[in-house]
Amino acid sequence: MFSPFAFLVRLYLPISAAIVLGVLISFFLGLTVFRRRFKYPLNREIPAYLGKFLFMAGVPLSIINFLHQADLSGSVLLAPVVAWVAILMAFLCSRLWIRPNQAHWARASQGSFSLASMFGNTGYIGFPVILLLPQLGPDYFGWALFYDVLGTLLGAYILGVILAAHFGSQRRSGKQSSLPPQSGKRPPFRNRATLQEVLKNPTMLAFVLGLALRPVPWLNCLEVSLNGFAWLMVMLSLVLMGMRLQQLSSWRNLKPALVTVGIKMILIPLLVGMALTSFDFEGPPRLVMVLQAGMPCAFATLVLAETYNLDRDLAVTSVGLSSALLLVTLPLWLWGFCTW
C-alpha cells in the first residue's frame, strides 16, 4: 500500500521530468546557434512533426495496447455521460459568469472563455496521469479513454465547433471570413464535414479497432513490444507538452484566465466528485472521472481560437496557466477522492 507521499512522488517525478525535458529541448533548439545552422526553426518544426506522429500513430497504437489490457466491466459507459455533464456544466458556469457584464465582453473573448472552461486535456495529459498513478494504471484506462473519446473528443469537434462558429468568424485559406462578427450573421457550419472529421480522427479509429481486437489473444512478443512502445508514447506526449508550453508567449488576460481555470480545474471536478459520491459511486472509477474533469484547458481551444478568430491571447493564457497549476490541484483530488 502506497502512502500519499509515495503516490505524489511516483506521479510527479515522471510527469515533471518529461515536461521539464520538453521545455529545455525547446529552449535550446530556439537558441541563435541552431537558428543559423538550419533553414527552418527547429524549436517549431520538431514539435510540429512530433505532434503529427503522436496524433497519427503514437497515441492510436497506445490506445489499442492499453485498451486490450483495460477492464471494461461494470459501468464504464458512465464515463462519457459524466464527461458531457461536466462539459455542459462548465458552459453554464462560464455563461453565468459573463452575463452580469456581458456588454464589456467582446464576442471573441466570450467564445474563448467558454471553450477553455469546457474542454480539458484528457488525452495528452489525462492519459499519462491515469496510467502513472499506481492505484489506477492500465486496469482503469478504459474509463479515461471512454471519457476522452466519447466525451471530450466528440464535444470539441461538435459542440466546440458550433460555439466557436457562433462567437467568431471562420478563416479560410489564411483569410478571414467576409462576414464580420458585428453583422449578426454566423459563419456556415457544415454538419457533414464535422462528422467526417470525427470519423476520420485516428483516436476514434483506434478506439473502435481496440474494442474489436480485445477478444483476440496476442503473442507475448507483440504484447511486450506494444506495451513498451505505448509507455514511450506516454512520455513523449509529456515531452511535447513541455515543448509547447515553452513556446507560449502571451500571458495577458490573466484575470479572466484565472476564472476560467477556477471553473475548469476546481469547480467542475468538485461538482463531479460530489455528484458521484451522492449516488454511492466510489472507488478508482470515481477518481478517474474526477481527475479527467480536472485536467488543464485543452490545446484544442487554441486551434478553435485560431480557426474562428476568437481571443487567442485568452486561450493561450488559460492553457499555460492551467497546465502550470495541474501539479497543485492533483493533490486536492487525490486527497479528497482516493482511498489510500
1-26: pLDDT as tens digits: 455 566 667 677 887 888 889 889 98
Mean pLDDT, the chain, whole residue set = 82
Query: Residue 307 corresponds to which cell in the numbers above?
Result: 480557426
**pLDDT, greater one: 271 or 300:** 271
Q: Burial letters for 141-164: b for 16+ Cβ neighbours within 10 Å, e otherwise?
A: bbbbbbbbbbbbbbbbbebbbebb
**pLDDT confidence of residue 93:** 96
Beta strand ranges found along 8-150 (DSSP E)? none
pLDDT at 230 over 90: no
Spatial distance between the Cα atoms of 201 and 153, rounded to a whole number of angstroms? 9
Average confidence (pLDDT) over 196-208: 74
Query: Residue 293 corresponds to which cell in the numbers above?
Result: 474533469
List the domains of the chain with CATH numbers: 4-170+179-337 (1.20.1530.20)
Helix, strand or coil, per DSSP, at residue 84: helix
Query: Residue 47 corresponds to which cell in the numbers above?
Result: 514539435
Q: Which residues pair with 172 in a beta bridge?
A: 175
Q: How confident is the model at residue 303 (pLDDT cuts 50, 70, 90)?
A: confident
Q: How confident is the model at residue 260 (pLDDT cuts 50, 70, 90)?
A: very high
Q: Among 248, 251, 253, 250, which residue's Cα sits nearest to residue 106?
A: 253
| Residue 172 backbone phi and psi in degrees, to 5 | -135, 125
pLDDT at 185 over 50: no
**pLDDT confidence of residue 110:** 93
Spatial distance between the Cα atoms of 27 and 89, rounded to a whole number of angstroms? 38
pLDDT at 296 over 50: yes
Q: Which residues pair with 297 in a beta bridge?
A: 120
Spatial distance between the Cα atoms of 91 and 34, rounded to a whole number of angstroms? 43
The answer to whether 120 and 126 are in contact (CB under 8 A) is yes
| CA–CA distances in Å: residue 295 to residues 27, 51, 65, 157 | 25, 19, 23, 18
**pLDDT confidence of residue 178:** 33
pLDDT at 149 over 60: yes
Which of 6-15, 69-78, 175-184: highest mean pLDDT? Answer: 69-78
Please state, for a pLDDT cut of 70, what percent of the chain lies above it: 85
Q: How confident is the model at residue 187 (pLDDT cuts 50, 70, 90)?
A: very low
Spatial distance between the Cα atoms of 49 and 66, rounded to a whole number of angstroms? 24
The answer to whether 120 and 272 are in contact (CB under 8 A) is no
Burial class (CB in 10 A: 0-12, 13-18, 19+), 306: middle
Average confidence (pLDDT) over 263-267: 95
